[in-house]
Amino acid sequence: MKNITVVTVVFNEEKRIETFIKSFLWSNDLIIIDKSSTDSTREIIRHYPSITLIDAPYSDTGSEFKLGIDIAKNEWLMTLTASDIIHPDLVEKLLKLINDPSFDYEAVALPFAMMVFGIREVKRSPWGAATKELLYRKNVIKTSSVVHEEFSHVSRKIYKFKYSEYENLFHLTHETLETFFERHIRYTRLESNKYSDCSIALKSSLKELIRSVKCVTLKRKTFLLGWDGIALSLAYVSYFIFKFLFVWEKFRGKGRSEYSTIRSDILSLWERRDKKENLYD
């Protein structure tokens, strides 16, 4: 019977890693790449001897997924994060699907329940998605070191599940505002680094910001969720505000250079004054 390799990359996930593990122990090839966690993440993982644990140096991207994909034992792979937990009935359906001799698809869009700040709303949330492609045959996977583009596939043979109320892959992300903005800063700073031309970078990031506003106001009408909708809208748009600001700072920010010059000039004046006073002593 065919099984599925599950690969995830983690860093300091002691609060979520055991829940993730217990949800995916059905896999006969569960691979976790730890990016040099400084908490008890690795110790928790080592309590489960069936898991393949790979130690990797820390990085801000998820490019380490390739380490797991390269050693995967199974034909089918699922690439996940520590935020994920899966309904057991969905697992049964997935295993039955890939073991059907007539199943000739190369990627599967799973029923996907993405929750942000504890809110689950497929229709109105800007992060809402009924399905997400997370299960692939190994031979169609494409990897990258670009943040948020670490893996994709090159197939058009995609099987799509219908969204379910319960039988989903649940993505429980952004539990608090503190972690939300910490990740905002890290990811948007990294995304700004892919640009090398000032004009293109500013125009592109501004367009993304405008599209995000249109998404929550015209496309999704997130505000119709009331106060929760307003909070989700502002949180979503803030990501693209951060990205634009990091792009602007990269090409036009003068804080470091200007402040360094001012500090140097003022300290030089103080040094001259001290020397002058020493002459009169």
Going by C-alpha positions, the residue among 64, 32, 69 that lies closest to residue 47 is: 32
Say what the pLDDT of residue 226 is: 95
Within-domain flag for 279: no
| Structure confidence by residue, pLDDT tens digits, 163-192 | 888 899 999 999 999 989 998 898 899 889
Rounded distance between C-alpha atoms, residue 145 and residue 66, angstroms: 9
- Domain edge (last residue) among 148, 173, 198: 173
| One domain, residues 10 and 66 | yes
Within-domain flag for 21: yes
Phi, psi of 246 (to 5 degrees): -70, -35
| One domain, residues 140 and 206 | no
- Domain edge (last residue) among 124, 155, 173: 173
Would you say residue 146 has pLDDT above 80? no
Number of independent structural domains in the chain = 2
Q: Name the 3-class secondary structure at 153.
A: strand
Neighbours of 27 (CB within 10 A): 21
Domain that holds residue 169: 4-173
Q: What is the pTM of this model?
A: 0.85
| One domain, residues 127 and 194 | no
The domain that holds 124 is classified in CATH as: 3.90.550.10
- Domain edge (last residue) among 149, 173, 197: 173
CA dist 206 → 106, 201, 211, 213 (Å): 36, 8, 9, 11
Say what the pLDDT of residue 34 is: 96
In the chain, the percentage of residues whose pLDDT exceeds 90 is 77
Rounded distance between C-alpha atoms, residue 83 and residue 15, angstroms: 10
